[in-house]
């Protein structure tokens, strides 16, 4: 009798995921939110059924973080996720190290379904695939089935091995030279709000207007917003002239699946960091666009990103690093991240792109939103996505000071865009 | 749809202040708009309350166990030692202190008075257990009352003081009130042991402490807002 190969019920954390359990705290939770607002009220019982069915198709997400002697690892769990009614601030800490907790939660509030997920399990692409699949399954439970659609996973689809691939290891090339080190960045220095609070300010603009403006400058939407954000920070930099002045650096996560043919549901992104030193003088918007364009063109290439992947993976490869016990490794990672990660960026901007849903249900969904994870090191982060002609730009903030948001959206208004502002009312 | 007159951005119906600049939004329509967010609760405040409760219950059980053990030793085993009596009084005192420090009485003045009362109970207990100790009424009581009164005055004044940079004001208060407390302490000790008050060391303590407090206060009040802001930024915790 041929013995069936025993199914592995645990897996290693990918290269980026290894960072998060060490740096996660009650303020910097590493939890981001994707939400979909429907046209009708959410039915919790149907959402629960849909969630249980769809989570079985995403075994990578139904796991529990466990401590090994040298590294953390994820162990599969049989817990069925249960949607909860939203009552706390967004992106709060997930207790996924504890028994009975998963590294994600699904929330509902009136017409809105939200997925809050730890970055240690997946990135924006993996999370949006999960949320879209959940919404499709929810509508299927309501009696509105959809045909197969790209970017949507159905519960009956077989699980492919490539979904659980650690693409960082797969595309790691040994022996590539290290990328040049980044300099210290200008920091947004504000008084924090109390632990357990997180402020969201969302601006809604028409995509066609943004596209027209981008076309005028012959750049992409992301490049346009990078330039716009730099312009905002330029104004802020001038306002806070007494601060220690350093280059302004915006960290931009790049989806590596667009460059390397990967279908992984785990993290597969790299951060690039365009920087501008405003001590050199005032930059016009056209100059900022040019800088963003040139930087993106040179940074988002297979060679440069392979170098970035190799550099990141190399950090965990040496034997002397691997044999350091986890408790000590965690402390070292914290210090290294604070000094060489967080201190090297002023803020971050993440664009998840256009969200497309199957034609059968797209009319029944009002909008999608994307909230960045809170970070006490950067204080403010921006994330954006678009759905059916509207772009949703969300600032996540750990301070009551809204100068950056005010400058950003007023500038958009001044540039001729109609902007609608919403916030979580605090 | 309403617009913010300052920012020019559109906001939802029923929004009273602009989410960006807090400018008042003119209200023309009475459309009821569905809320996009619940009134958010802080996830941690409940957790912290729960944790505090658990810790306090554990401590109470431990204290109860300790008192029960010591009482058994005292009454059942018939061992009448000063140590068991001190133990019982100490555990009672500790429990009351923790009850106050855990913030179960929300009024700060009552908490301070409570701490004073527990301290009086403790020193009186020490006096009763050991007949050789007789200083509780003459020295202990006045010192505890003095400390409690000084602390109450300091809190009252701190609350009324308009400039509330805690990183500067709290050290000033500590220096000032400590120096007054030293004066009172030396007076009580002197009066009880030599029958007259002749101040020595408390004056030596008082002069530098008051000088430092005065310099700090002067600097703080006269410091330009920019430097004060920088100090706040650098030393906040």
Percent of chain B at pLDDT above 70? 90
| DSSP at A189 | -
Q: Is A7 helix (H, G, I), strand (E, B) or coil?
A: coil
How many other C-beta atoms lie within 10 A of the C-beta of residue B198? Answer: 8
Among A96, A127, A105, smallest CA distance to A34 is for A127
Q: What is the mean pLDDT of chain A?
A: 91
Say what percent of chain A tops pLDDT 90: 69
SS3 A395: strand
pLDDT higher than 90, residue A217: yes
Q: Hey, do A10-155 and A199-423 end up sharing a CATH topology, with the first three levels equal?
A: yes
How far is it between the farthest Cα atoms of chain A?
77
What is the C-alpha to C-alpha distance for residues A137 and B66, in angstroms, rounded to an integer?
59
> In the prediction, which pLDDT does A5 show?
54
Average pLDDT score over residue span B37-52: 83
For A199-423, the fitting CATH number among 3.40.50.2300, 3.60.15.10, 3.30.559.30, 3.40.50.300 is 3.30.559.30
Give the model's confidence band at B40: pLDDT under 50 very low, under 70 low, under 90 confident, else very high.
confident
Residue A305 burial (C-beta neighbours within 10 Å; 0-12, 13-18, 19+) = buried
Residues A114 and A32: their CA atoms lie apart, in Å, by 10
Q: How confident is the model at residue B165 (pLDDT cuts 50, 70, 90)?
A: low
User: What confidence category does residue B39 fall into, taking pLDDT thresholds of 50, 70 and 90?
Assistant: confident
| Structure tokens, A387 | 């759905």
- Taking CA–CA distances from A415, the nearest residue in chain B reads B8
Residue B10: list chain A partners with CB under 8 A. 418-421
Residue A268: band (very low, low, confident or very high) from pLDDT cuts 50, 70, 90:
very high
Give the pLDDT confidence of A8-66 residue by residue, as tens digits: 788 889 988 888 988 898 888 999 999 999 999 999 999 999 999 999 999 999 999 98
DSSP characters over B153-187: HHHHHHHH-S---HHHHHHHHHHHHHHHHHHHHHH
Interface mutation vs chain A, best among B1, B36, B229, most A CBs within 10 Å: B36
pLDDT given at position B162: 62
Strands A248-255 and A347-355, sheet pairing = parallel
ipTM, interface predicted TM-score of the complex: 0.73
DSSP string, A144-173: ------TT---TTSPPPGGGG--HHHHT--
Question: What is the structure's pLDDT at A300?
Answer: 95
pLDDT at B16: 83
Q: A83, A51 in Cβ contact below 8 A?
A: yes
User: What is the C-alpha to C-alpha distance for residues A24 and A27, in angstroms, rounded to an integer?
Assistant: 8
The mean pLDDT of A118-140, rounded to a whole number, is 95
What is residue B193's predicted lDDT score, i.e. its pLDDT? Answer: 84
Instruction: Report the distance separating Cα A391 and Cα A405, nearest Å.
Output: 16
Is pLDDT larger for residue A285 or for residue B46?
Answer: A285
pTM above 0.95, yes or no: no
- A201 vs B19: CB contact, 8 Å cut-off? yes
Q: In chain A, pLDDT over 70 holds for what percent of residues?
A: 97
Q: Is the pLDDT of residue B237 over 60?
A: no
* pLDDT value of residue A301: 95
Proportion of chain B above pLDDT 90, given as a percent: 27
Q: Where are the domains of chain A?
A: 10-155, 199-423
Using a CB cutoff of 8 Å and minimum separation of 24, what contacts does A153-160 make? Answer: A153/A54, A153/A57, A153/A58, A153/A129, A154/A57, A155/A53, A155/A54, A155/A56, A155/A57, A157/A57, A159/A57, A159/A59, A160/A263
The pLDDT assigned to B83 comes to 82
Q: Which residues from A are below 8 Å from B18, CB to CB?
A: 421
pLDDT of residue B217: 82
Cβ atoms within 10 A of the Cβ of A276, count?
24
pLDDT at site A244: 60
pLDDT digits (tens, 9 = 90+) for B60-93: 999 999 999 988 887 787 777 788 888 888 999 9
Residue B232 is predicted with a pLDDT of 65
Beta strand A420-423 pairing with A380-387? unpaired
Q: CB A88 to CB B40 under 8 A? A: yes
CB contact under 8 A, A196 and B43: yes
Task: Flag whether pLDDT at A108 surpasses 80.
Answer: yes
What confidence score (pLDDT) does residue B236 get? 62
Residues on B contacting A at a C-beta cutoff of 8 Å: 1, 4, 7-12, 18-21, 34-45, 226, 230, 233, 236
CA–CA separation, A160 vs A182, rounded Å? 38
A381-410: average pLDDT: 95
Chain segment B147-160, per-residue pLDDT in tens = 999 999 988 888 87
Instruction: Tell me what pLDDT residue A62 has.
Output: 93
Provide mean pLDDT across the span A110-136.
95
With tokens 């617009």, the residue in question is: B3
The reply to whether residue A86 touches residue B38, judged by beta carbons under 8 angstroms, is: yes
Model confidence at B221: pLDDT above 80: no
Closest CA to B178 of B204, B206, B153, B198: B206
Q: What is the pLDDT at residue A3?
A: 56
Contacts of A54 (CB under 8 A, 6+ apart): A130, A133, A134, A137, A153, A155
pLDDT score at A182: 86
Asked if B34 and A111 come within 8 Å (Cβ–Cβ), the reply is yes
Q: Do A242 and B7 touch (CB under 8 A)?
A: no
Interface contact A112-B35, CB threshold 8 A: no
Long-range contacts of A126-132 (CB under 8 A, 24+ apart): A126/A264, A126/A265, A126/A266, A126/A267, A127/A32, A127/A34, A128/A34, A128/A352, A128/A355, A128/A385, A129/A153, A129/A265, A130/A54, A130/A58, A130/A61, A130/A104, A130/A265, A131/A34, A131/A35, A131/A36, A131/A368, A132/A355, A132/A357
Report CA-CA distances (Å) from B83 to B72, B74, B89: 13, 10, 10
pLDDT above 80 for A121: yes
Closest-CA distance of chain B to residue A401, Å:
9
Rounded to 5°, angle at Cα A216 from A213 and A220: 70
Residues A169-183: tens digit of each pLDDT: 999 998 899 998 888
Is the pLDDT higher at B163 or at A103?
A103
The residue of chain A nearest to residue B6, with distances taken between CA atoms, is A410
Q: How far apart are CA A411 and CA B20, in angstroms?
A: 12
pLDDT digits (tens, 9 = 90+) for A327-346: 999 999 888 888 888 889 99
Class of domain A10-155: alpha beta
| DSSP three-state, residue A402 | coil
Q: With cut-offs at 50, 70 and 90, classify the pLDDT of residue B32.
A: low
At B234, the pLDDT band (50, 70, 90 cuts) reads: low
DSSP B79-131: ---HHHHHHHHHHHHHHHHHHHHTTSS--HHHHHHHHHHHHHHHHHHHHHH-T
């Amino acid at each position: 009798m041929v013995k069936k190969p025993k199914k592995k019920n645990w897996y290693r954390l990918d290269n980026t995921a290894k960072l998060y359990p060490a740096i996660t705290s009650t303020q910097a939770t590493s939890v981001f939110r994707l939400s979909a607002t429907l046209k009708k009220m959410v039915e919790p019982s149907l959402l629960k059924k849909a969630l249980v069915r769809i989570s079985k198709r995403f075994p990578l997400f139904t796991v529990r973080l466990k401590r090994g002697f040298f590294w953390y690892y994820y162990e599969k769990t049989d817990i069925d996720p249960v949607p909860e009614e939203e009552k706390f601030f967004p992106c709060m800490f997930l207790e996924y190290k504890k028994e009975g907790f998963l590294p994600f939660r699904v929330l509902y509030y009136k017409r809105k379904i939200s997925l809050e997920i730890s970055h240690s399990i997946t990135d924006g692409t993996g999370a949006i695939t999960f949320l879209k699949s959940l919404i499709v399954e929810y509508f299927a439970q309501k009696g509105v089935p959809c045909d197969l659609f790209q970017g949507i996973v159905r519960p009956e689809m077989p699980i492919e091995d490539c979904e659980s691939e650690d693409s960082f290891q797969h595309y790691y090339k040994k022996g590539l030279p290290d990328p040049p080190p980044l300099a210290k960045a200008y920091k947004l220095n504000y008084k924090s709000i109390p632990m357990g609070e997180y402020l969201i300010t969302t601006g809604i603009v028409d995509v066609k207007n943004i596209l027209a403006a981008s076309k005028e400058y012959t750049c992409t939407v992301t490049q346009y917003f990078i330039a716009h954000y730099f312009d905002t920070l330029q104004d802020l930099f001038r306002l806070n002239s007494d601060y220690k002045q350093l280059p302004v650096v915006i960290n931009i996560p790049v989806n590596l699946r667009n460059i390397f043919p990967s279908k992984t549901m785990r993290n597969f992104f790299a951060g690039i960091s365009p920087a501008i030193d405003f001590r050199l003088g005032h930059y016009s918007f056209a100059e900022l666009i040019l800088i963003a364009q040139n930087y993106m063109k040179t940074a988002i290439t297979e060679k440069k990103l392979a170098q970035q992947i190799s550099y990141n993976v190399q950090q965990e490869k040496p034997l002397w690093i691997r044999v350091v016990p986890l408790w000590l490794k965690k402390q070292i990672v914290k210090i290294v991240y604070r000094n060489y990660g967080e201190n090297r960026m002023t803020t971050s901007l993440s664009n998840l792109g256009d969200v497309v849903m199957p034609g059968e249900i797209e009319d029944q969904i009002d909008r999608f939103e994307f909230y960045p994870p809170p970070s006490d090191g950067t204080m403010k982060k921006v994330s954006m996505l678009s759905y059916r002609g509207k772009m949703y730009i969300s600032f996540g903030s750990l301070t009551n000071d809204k100068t950056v948001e005010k400058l950003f959206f007023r500038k958009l208004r001044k540039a001729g865009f109609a902007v609608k502002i919403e916030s979580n009312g605090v | 749809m309403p617009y913010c007159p300052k920012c020019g951005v559109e906001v939802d119906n029923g929004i009273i202040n602009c989410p960006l600049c807090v400018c008042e939004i003119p209200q023309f329509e009475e459309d009821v708009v569905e809320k996009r967010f619940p009134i958010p609760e802080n996830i941690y405040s409940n957790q912290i309350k729960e944790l505090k409760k658990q810790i306090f219950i554990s401590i109470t059980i431990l204290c109860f166990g300790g008192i029960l053990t010591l009482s058994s030793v005292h009454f059942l085993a018939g061992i009448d030692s000063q140590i068991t009596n001190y133990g019982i009084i100490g555990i009672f005192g500790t429990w009351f202190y923790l009850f106050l420090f855990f913030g179960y009485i929300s009024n700060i003045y009552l908490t301070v008075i409570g701490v004073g009362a527990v301290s009086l109970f403790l020193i009186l207990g020490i006096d009763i257990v050991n007949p050789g100790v007789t200083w509780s009424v003459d020295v202990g009581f006045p010192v505890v009352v003095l400390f409690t009164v000084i602390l109450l005055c300091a809190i009252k004044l701190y609350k009324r003081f308009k400039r509330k940079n805690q990183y500067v004001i709290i050290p000033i208060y500590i220096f000032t009130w400590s120096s007054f407390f030293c004066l009172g302490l030396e007076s009580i000790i002197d009066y009880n042991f030599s029958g007259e008050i002749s101040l020595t060391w408390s004056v030596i303590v008082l002069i530098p402490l008051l000088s430092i407090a005065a310099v700090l206060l002067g600097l703080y009040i006269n410091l330009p807002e920019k430097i004060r802001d920088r100090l706040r930024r650098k030393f906040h915790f």
